[in-house]
Chain A
Amino acid sequence: MMKSRTLDIATVSRNAWERLVVDPTLGVISLLVIFSLIAAFAFPVFYAGNNIYNLVGSSITVMILAIGMTIVLISGGIDLSVGAVMALCAGTAASVVKLGAPLWVAFLCALLVGVIAGLMNGFLVTRVGLPDFIGTLAMLGLASGVLYIATQGVPIIGYMTSEYYVIGGLEPLVGPVTLPMVVALVLALSAGWLLSRTRLGTHFFAVGSNAVAARQSGVSVRWVKTQAYVISGVCAAIAGVILAGRNNNVPADLGTGYEIQAISAAIIGGASLMGGRGRVLGAVLGSLTLALAINIINLAGVPSSFQKIVIGAILLLAVIANYLSELARNAALRRRAKRDSQASSLERTKKEI
């Protein structure tokens, strides 16, 4: 069984060029470089003032969701409920703070909601047997419905404290660094470590690549997939707590559309909808690419109707890049297999002689 995505690439080819081509983040890195160059030449203000800083700040929520989504995609699932769960967690945190509880209690409550949502997603998919798409769609309806009923459509306000301004990134933590930036960095490093250095990470790739083979190898596919959904729920909870601070209020439709952005960022970052493929670095760069595209559109004064077209085009380019990268990976695998076969055949011939 492959140890990790990084090792998988190393196993596929020892050739540096091949390793680069089969890396799932190649597409998104290329896009980021191209966009940054275009922006730098077209708009002198791109590197001026706080633009890059604002751009990173605006991408944090999607980035955190995309990290969780990448793990779910690697394990062969998809989580359509992240936006709604994020909003529900934001509402939970805001309501608990409003009741006068300490901030840490509010965050624990939000985290608990995220974990429960993840467990329910896992239950619906692995125990009830619903397709991932349907199971998490049901959770989307459930989470958004609960928030609508709880709020009666009226946004939750009046929970912002001076500490919450820091949590939302509206006040810096140290120098220009905001707390959401630190949280996103810690999450990305933790998720990267989980995927590349732990048995669970290996199991995510194994289950996503071939669930039957993983099961036959003794991996509990149900539990592994459930854990992926729980991680996604935790990421949604963290994103919700941060967004509640950034937004200053929690409307019932806070999470609308975030699931699409998270899936887009993960796919742009090289994750495959077929499972078994993806990187946390890709999710981070994917969310930055989306934020960069919107930034360029706004700076260029392009009519907002083009925003969806541009994002759709980026997604298409990323999928094509992924497809080409997948082809390159398969070709490298075939070459490697051929080399191994030739080597063993030569070995046998030598022995026979």
Chain B
Amino acid sequence: MSQEQLTLRTHGARGRALKRLAAFAASGALVVGLAACSTVGSSNNAGSTASGDVGTAVCGSPEEQAAITAAVDGRTLKVGYTPPILSEFYTQVEKSAFNRMHELEECYGIQWEWARQGALNDAHSGVEAVGIVQNFISNEFDAVFVCSAAPASTMQEIYAAGSEGGVDFYQFNSTEELANPSQADDPTGGLFTVSNIGYDDRWQSGYIAGLYLAEELNGAGEIIQILGPSGSDWTKLRQLGFEAAISEYPGMTIVGSADGGYVRDQGLTAAQDLLTKFPDVDAIYGENEDMALGASQAIDLAGLQHWDGTSGIITIGADGLLSGMDSIRQGKLSATVDVNSVEMGRTMIDTLFQHEILGMTVAQFIRIPTIVVDQSNVDWAEAKIAASLAGPGNY
């Protein structure tokens, strides 16, 4: 097991204590981040005010600000944004990116031309994404942010061709880890992207969701899973991490799985069917938050009890949607893996600015922090997203 995995492993009472400590530390980090912001050149995870106040703390010293402004030279960056679908999660990411773009514009005078286009019909095939990205290439965009369900090899071919035409590609919230890209002998890891900004779906989502369930249930219990569409790379990766976590606890068993199609209604139907067959389960793992919320409705409809800390059914999802936070507070959704849409959006823009304007060599793989949100830390998790959505950025 890698060092990264080892640091994630927590067990029993010690694990719960560590979790509380981690939540406290994360809260502290957020407060520090909100209070003491850094300039764009200092770090990929540069914090800043979500409220949009731009001052010395964000822009750097007057000399630094003047130097960066000179480097920008009033340039306009033409950027494409291609999420797999226009959803609440990708709107949260985009809004956070807008806030950071606004700050950089205020500080250094950079201008932005932003175009967003996501699949309207079939997010999971990626067919539409290919056309959208090709459209951005033919319209000579400077850079394109892509998150797509299209086959990785197809997208890499498009990136290679687009890069020759001068377009830089940044993947976000993607699943490149599925192919285990290595930078041991190749700085690009075999990819035609400038950078890949996101989190590891295995260990930063599926795995920590599994650990949470195991720890809450003291290492013994039956789980049903509501998964995304079969063949989805996100599903494969999160499943891999989830099963790895569960396998560490011999008393934990996955008794059933069904397809929830990443949507609430289908998640509800799938959970109803599985609860008919396994009415005594202890936990439901919804691979995304919408399906977990559907499963939560199924618990209500079946007259079963939600988890109250000692008994009932635990339901955990993954995404970190503002709309899911209230369900956590009400105890309808026990927890969710917040994959940090706010930090993702900001980091995307910082990385873009560092590379396109300052000419920095950025990391090929940038991992942002994720966290399990439950009733113990829902307030700050919600406040962070709400503040970002209320931010001044708008393009």
Contacts and interface: CB of A to CB of B under 8 A. Distances in A.
A155 B90 CA distance: 11
A154 B91 contact: yes
Contacts of A247: 264-265, 268
B87 A170 contact: no
B323 A155 contact: yes
B149 to A, nearest CB: 13
Interface string A315-346: 00000000000000000000000000000000
Given A43-B277, A248-B297, A304-B259, A58 B120 contact: no
14 contacts: A50-B276, A54-B272, A58-B268, A61-B265, A148-B86, A153-B85, A153-B86, A155-B88, A248-B293, A248-B297, A253-B123, A298-B273, A301-B258, A305-B230
B302 interface: yes
Interface in A212-255: 243, 246-249, 251-254
B184 interface: no
Given A248-B297, A294-B269, A295-B273, A303 B230 contact: yes
A11 B128 CA distance: 50
A248 B256 CA distance: 25
B6 interface: no
Interface string B239-265: 000000000000000001111000111
B272 A252 contact: no
A157 B276 contact: no
A301 to B, nearest CB: 6
B265 A246 contact: yes
Nearest to B256: A301
Given A170-B297, A253-B85, A295-B273, 10 more contacts: A49-B302, A54-B273, A61-B265, A155-B87, A157-B323, A251-B263, A253-B86, A291-B269, A298-B258, A304-B227
A256 B277 contact: no
A178 B229 CA distance: 30
A307 interface: yes
Interface string B294-324: 0001001110000000000000000000010
Nearest to A43: B277
Interface string A258-299: 000000000000000000000000000000000100110111
Contact of B276 (A54, A144, A170): A54
Contacts of B323: 155, 157, 249
B118 interface: yes
A48 B256 contact: no
A161 interface: no
B274 interface: yes
A61 B120 CA distance: 21
Contacts, number: 102
B80 to A, nearest CB: 16
Contacts of A248: 264, 293, 297
B270 interface: yes
Nearest to B269: A58
B290 to A, nearest CB: 8
A49 B272 CA distance: 11
Given A247-B265, A248-B264, A298-B258, A304 B276 contact: no
A152 interface: yes
Counting chain B residues whose Cβ lies within 8 A of the other chain, the interface size class is 35 or more
B88 A154 contact: yes
B122 interface: yes
B272 A256 contact: no
A299 B90 CA distance: 33
A45 B85 CA distance: 37
Nearest to B119: A253
B86 A58 contact: no
B121 interface: yes
Nearest to A296: B273
A144 B85 CA distance: 12
Given A154-B91, A251-B88, A304-B230, A256 B269 contact: no
A141 interface: yes
A48 B276 CA distance: 8
A192 interface: no
A17 to B, nearest CB: 38
B187 interface: no
A153 B301 contact: no
A50 B230 contact: no
A50 B277 CA distance: 11
A51 interface: yes
A76 B250 CA distance: 60
Nearest to A61: B265
B78 to A, nearest CB: 21
A305 B231 CA distance: 8
Pick from B90, B268, B302 the residue with the most CB of A within 10 Å.
B268
A45 B91 contact: no
Nearest to A148: B86
A150 to B, nearest CB: 12
B210 to A, nearest CB: 19
Contact of B268 (A144, A153, A157, A246): A246
A51 B301 CA distance: 12
B190 interface: no
Looking at B90, B118, B268, B276, the one whose CB has the most chain A CB atoms below 10 A away is B276
A248 B291 CA distance: 12
Nearest to A300: B277
Given A145-B120, A170-B301, A301-B256, A253 B264 contact: no
A144 B268 CA distance: 23
Interface in A27-80: 43, 45, 48-51, 54, 58, 61
Interface in A101-144: 141, 144
Given A54-B276, A153-B91, A298-B258, A148 B120 contact: yes
